[in-house]
Structures are given as C-alpha cells and as structure tokens.
C-alpha cells in the first residue's frame, strides 16, 4: 500500500504517485460522497499504482473498476455529480480520454451555465499526460489545450509530490469540474514534503526560483527541466526566475505579469506542440499586459508540430535544457547585458 499510514501533517519522503494516493485516501476518508472509479483502478491499483490499496481499504462500492468505455465513465460521473456525489475518475492515459471528449465539452463543461448555476458538477477527471516514459502511440500526448480552450472547466497540473497532494485535494473539494493532468514521467520522483492542502489556492501560480534577468514559465512535467535550465543559465550569467503555473485555466496572469514586468524578458516552456499550444496564449497575454515592459518578444520552447513520436525519438521531441538555453540567448541582449554580467 502506498503511503497511506503516515499522518497528513508529518513531513516525509514520497513520490508523486504516493502523494496522489494519499490525497485520494484522505478525501475518501473525510467525505462519504467521494467515489473513485475507472479502468483498472480497483484490484490492480491503476496502471501507475496511484490507486493502490484504496479498493481494499474503502470497499468496491466506493473504489471500483469500470468497462473500457471512457464516454460511459465520464457520462456516469456527470450523473453522479448532478445528484450530490463527488466522483473522481481516471482516464488511464491522455489519449484514452478522447472518446469521452463529447461528454466533457458538451455536458460536463456546460451544465452549470445551462442551468443558470442551479446544478453544480463537483467532479475530477484524472488524466496521466505527457511523455518521457517511452510509451507507444495513444499512450503519450499533451492534450492540455483541448481542455483549457473549453470554458467551464478548471485545468490544473502539479509538478511535485507536495503540489500533487494539495491540488488534488483542492480539486476534489471544488464545486467546479476539474481536469487534473498528472505528468506521468514525474510519478516516481521523490521529494521530502509535508502534505497539506490548506493555505494555497487552486488557481494560483507560484515562483519556484527567484531571478532578475528573465522569467521562465512552465508547468507539469516540463517544470523540472525548466529548473535545470535556470541552474545552467546561472552559470552563464543569467538570473532566471521560474514560475510554475499549476493552474492552466484559469490562468494566473497577475503572478506571471508581475514577474515579467520586473525582468523584461520571458520564455514559455511546454512539451505540447508549439503551434496553437498553451504557450501561445501565455505569450499573447503577456504581450497585451506587459508590452511596455518587454525588452524582447516572448519566446516559446515546445514540442515539434508533429504527431507524438515513437519512444526512440521522443528525447528529440521533448524540450531539453539546451533548447531552453538557446531561447535565452535569443532574447535580444545586445543592448542590455544581464545584471549578473552574462549575456549573449
């Protein structure tokens, strides 16, 4: 069983998968309306073992397996949420969620507006997303923009075990439907953290590393790579501030814009394709709100505009430290060298 015995307040070392497991266990224990279901989440404990031990602890009436029918899973959850329950469903893999897209966009996202606020849908759809695990076709995709473009949905993604716990607990407590994107390549990375979902907002970005010369903006699986790039940039004389968006919709423009107005330069990093990717919206928002503060155009480092490649090629597709450093070099430093003395 994964990390179920430790008290929530006790600091300890755990993985993101363990933190998510604990978040589900605590929510199930504290609220009888919470249900967890999806493909193989019961006896098996999920493909990534995020639900390990939950069916044995809480019973098959509250944690159970479903047929391989994503539209049916989400449609059933919508009906449950309409009638006062708080379902948490798993889509198993990112691209497996596409058969449920009509239920998500036509019903889950619209019902509250359609009923003029009388019907809430407090449900969470957990989606392991992104690459980095050597998955074959339909098992690795970065589908965040499909959901962020859909009004009526909250879309969040953690980058660390502590955030995974806090954000999932807050998502389950939210009266709104939440798409919860779990970066699968970070499931087994460990962190010493105190698990607590109080004191932070579901829709706020956080500064992971302070800096003065430029702002690096990222989220989910790409955040750790972005922090590595910031460390490497420091050795070349650039002081990079790193912002973890956490919430993709709504977008925390206040936190991001405040950083960019201080630094004057920004790079957005994500692994989804660049064309019409999430970074395009971030760049547009910053261009509109920070135009007179910018020393250079907002740049994007992203996956290539291709279908997700096979496992032996994905290391070329995913943005790495070198590509981020190349973007930093292109931020028009000729007339104003970084305060730390570096520059292109």
Q: Of 107, 138, 139, 197, which residue is the catalytic one? A: 139
d(C-alpha 264, C-alpha 298), whole Å: 9
d(C-alpha 231, C-alpha 281), whole Å: 26
pLDDT of residue 35: 98
Over 70: is that where the pLDDT of 3 sits? no
CB neighbours of residue 6 within 10 Å:
13
pLDDT digits (tens, 9 = 90+) for 202-256: 999 999 999 999 999 999 999 999 999 999 999 999 999 999 999 999 999 999 9
DSSP 310: P
User: What strands lie across the sheet with 86-90, from one edge to the other?
Assistant: 63-65, 34-38, 86-90, 124-129, 178-183, 154-156, 247-249
pLDDT of residue 335: 62
pLDDT digits (tens, 9 = 90+) for 279-324: 999 999 999 999 999 999 999 999 999 999 998 899 899 999 999 9
The whole-chain average pLDDT of the chain stands at 92
pLDDT digits (tens, 9 = 90+) for 140-180: 899 999 999 999 999 999 999 999 999 999 999 999 999 99
pLDDT digits (tens, 9 = 90+) for 79-103: 999 999 999 999 999 999 999 999 9
Q: What is the mean pLDDT of residues 6-17?
A: 71
pLDDT digits (tens, 9 = 90+) for 65-84: 999 999 999 999 999 999 99
Over 70: is that where the pLDDT of 339 sits? no
| Cα atoms in the 13 Å half-sphere on the side-chain side of 338 | 25
The phi and psi torsions of 112 (rounded to 5 degrees) equal: -65, -45
Active site residue 138: no
Residue for token pair 């970070």? 186
CA neighbor of 142 nearest in space, from 228, 51, 218: 218
């Amino acid at each position: 069983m994964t990390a179920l015995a430790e008290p929530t307040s006790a600091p300890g070392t755990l993985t993101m998968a363990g933190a998510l497991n604990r978040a589900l266990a605590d929510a199930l224990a504290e609220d009888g309306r919470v249900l967890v279901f999806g493909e193989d989440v019961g006896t098996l404990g999920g493909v990534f073992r995020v639900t390990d031990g939950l069916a044995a602890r809480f019973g098959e009436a509250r944690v159970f397996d479903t047929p391989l029918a994503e539209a049916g899973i989400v449609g059933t959850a919508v009906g449950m949420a309409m009638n006062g329950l708080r379902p948490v469903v798993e889509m198993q893999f990112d691209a497996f969620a596409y058969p449920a897209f009509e239920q998500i966009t036509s019903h889950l996202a619209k019902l509250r507006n359609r009923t003029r606020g009388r019907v809430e849908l407090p449900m969470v759809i957990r989606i392991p997303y992104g690459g980095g695990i050597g998955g074959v076709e339909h098992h690795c995709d970065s589908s965040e923009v499909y959901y962020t473009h859909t009004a009526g949905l909250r879309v969040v993604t953690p980058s660390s075990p502590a955030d995974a716990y806090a954000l999932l607990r807050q998502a389950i407590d939210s009266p709104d439907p939440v798409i919860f994107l779990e970066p699968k390549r970070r499931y087994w990375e460990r962190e010493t953290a105190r698990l607590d979902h109080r004191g932070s907002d579901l829709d706020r970005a956080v500064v992971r590393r302070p800096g003065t010369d430029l702002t690096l903006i990222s989220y989910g699986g790409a955040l750790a790579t972005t922090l590595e790039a910031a460390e490497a940039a420091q050795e070349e004389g650039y002081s990079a501030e790193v912002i973890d968006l956490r919430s993709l919709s709504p977008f925390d423009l206040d936190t991001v814009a405040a950083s960019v107005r201080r630094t004057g330069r920004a790079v957005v990093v994500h692994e989804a394709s660049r064309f019409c990717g999430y970074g395009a919206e971030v760049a547009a928002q910053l261009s509109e709100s920070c135009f007179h503060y910018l020393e250079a155009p907002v740049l994007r480092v992203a996956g290539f505009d291709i279908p997700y490649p096979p496992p032996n090629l994905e290391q070329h597709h995913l943005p790495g430290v070198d590509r981020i450093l190349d973007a930093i070099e292109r931020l028009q430093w000729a007339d104003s060298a970084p305060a730390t003395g570096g520059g292109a």
